[in-house]
Structure 1
Amino acid sequence: MIYHLDTTTSTNDDARDPRYRHGDIVWAEHQTAGRGQRGHQWLSPEGENLTFTMVVEPRFLPVTEQFLLCEALSVALTDTFTAYGIETRIKWTNDIYAGDRKLEGVLIEHNYAGATLSRSLLGIGINVNQTEFDPSLPNPVSMAQLTGRRYDRRQVLETFERCMTARYEQLEHGDRNALQEEYRRRMYDLGVRRTFRYPDGSLTHAVIEGVRPTGELILRHDDGALREYLFKEIEFVLRK
């Protein structure tokens, strides 16, 4: 069920309420403290975009395999944009790009029950109808900017709900290899030599080879060595 709120601190905060169960979506027009990855704040003008959280309860999924849920979500988001004729790619770990520009942001938060997940909050912000962005943002783009038309946001949300339900069922039914291959096939700049930055600010150049089922990005460096990196161990240097 979709719950539509006027204002909340963040939809992930609101979705912690146990009254929301598996498959429910909390959608807010305005967040006073929206969050993104790496501690960034997520800002969105009221009435233009989608800011929402989907609650899932993947009790079948071991903690060590939680990246599979990230893959299911990322692939579902690309499915959603494909439904509107927008070609996208997945920038590791779960940003969705059209060309070199970012269409959405994701913040996933998990609860655990021993060795498995118990409840996960899939916080998502999609740039739908916004046409002007804060110039301090590095590379945003919206569906409206890409296609020259405005969208019914609830319809977009319902399209995502259908796509995510299908990909989640694929994961739940054990079709994990196919899901992982879809994620890899849709990766942004797969096979391309890119510049990356380490946490200390130093740079390296490497070719994107893929991603491990546990989430590590696989890079082939200029010396020929294959190395693997977890989230926050390395980041893309954006093209200008």
Structure 2
Amino acid sequence: MIYRIEETTSTNDDAKRPEYGHDDIIWAERQTAGRGQRGHTWISRAEESLTFSHILTPTFLPVAEQFRLVELVALALTDSFDEFGIDTRIKWTNDIYVGDRKMVGILIEHSYSGPTLARTILGTGINVNQTEFDPALPNPISMAQAAGRRFDREEVLETYRRHAARRYTQLERGEYAALEEEYRQRMYRLGERHPFRLADGTLFRAEIEGVRPTGELLLRHDDGTLRGYLFREVEFVIESRDR
């Protein structure tokens, strides 16, 4: 069920409440304390964007395989944008890009029950109809800008929900190889050589070859070595700006 509310601090916080269950979506018009990855704040315009949290209870999935939920939500979103005629790519781990510009941010939070997942909250912010953005944001884009037309936000959300249900069925069936390969094929800058930055500030160039099932980004360095990096160990460098 979709619960639509006018204002909240964070839909991810709301989604932790026990009255919400599997496949429920909390859609807020305004968030006063929306969160993004790496501790960033998610900024959105009321009535022009979509900010929502989708609850799943994948109790069959081991904690060590939680990256499969990243694959699920990223693929469901790119499936949705394909349906609207917008070509998107997944910027590891789970931002959605049009060209070199960010259209979607995702914050995933898990709770556990012993060795398996108990509850997963897929917090998502989609730039839908915005044409003006905070100048502090380095590279935003909206669906409207990408496609040259405005969109019905409820239709966008229902489209996402339909594709997420299909991807969740794949997950339940154990179709992991298919999810992994589709995620890989849709990766931003796959097979291209670009600059990256390590956590200590060191710059280097490498080519994306894919991602491990556990979520590490696989980069082929100039000396030929293939190395895997965890989320906070490496950053993309885009147009001389950190992303």
TM-score range (shorter-chain normalised) is over 0.9
What residue number does 1:235 align with? 235
What residue number does 1:200 align with? 200
Q: Distance in 1 between matches of 2:194 and 2:171?
A: 31
CA displacement, residues 160-183 of structure 1 (integer Å, 9 cap, x when unaligned):
000111001101111110110000
What is the TM-score when the length of structure 1 is the normalising length?
0.99
Alignment RMSD = 0.7
What residue number does 1:36 align with? 36
| Corresponding residue SS for 1:42 | coil
The yes-or-no answer on 1:142 pairing with 2:137 is no
What residue number does 1:7 align with? 7
Q: Distance in 2 between matches of 1:49 and 1:103?
A: 10
| Corresponding residue SS for 2:238 | coil
Residue identity opposite 1:237 in structure 2 = V
Shift of 1:51: 0.2
What 5-or-longer segments of structure 1 have no aligned partner?
A: none
Matches within 5 A, 1:64-103: 64-103=64-103
Q: Distance in 2 between matches of 1:158 and 1:101?
A: 24
Residue identity opposite 1:179 in structure 2 = L
What is the TM-score when the length of structure 2 is the normalising length?
0.98
What residue number does 1:169 align with? 169
After the TM superposition, list the runs of 4 or more consecutive aligned residues in structure 1 that deviate by more than 2 angstroms.
none
Residue identity opposite 1:8 in structure 2 = T
Corresponding residue pairs, total: 240
Residue identity opposite 2:109 in structure 1 = E
Q: Distance in 1 between matches of 2:45 and 2:71?
A: 28
Matches within 5 A, 1:53-132: 53-132=53-132
CA displacement, residues 134-164 of structure 1 (integer Å, 9 cap, x when unaligned):
1111110000011121111011000000011
| Corresponding residue SS for 1:232 | helix
Q: Distance in 1 between matches of 2:19 and 2:66?
A: 24
Taking only the aligned residue pairs, the percentage that are identical comes to 65
Residue identity opposite 1:160 in structure 2 = Y
What 5-or-longer segments of structure 2 have no aligned partner?
A: none
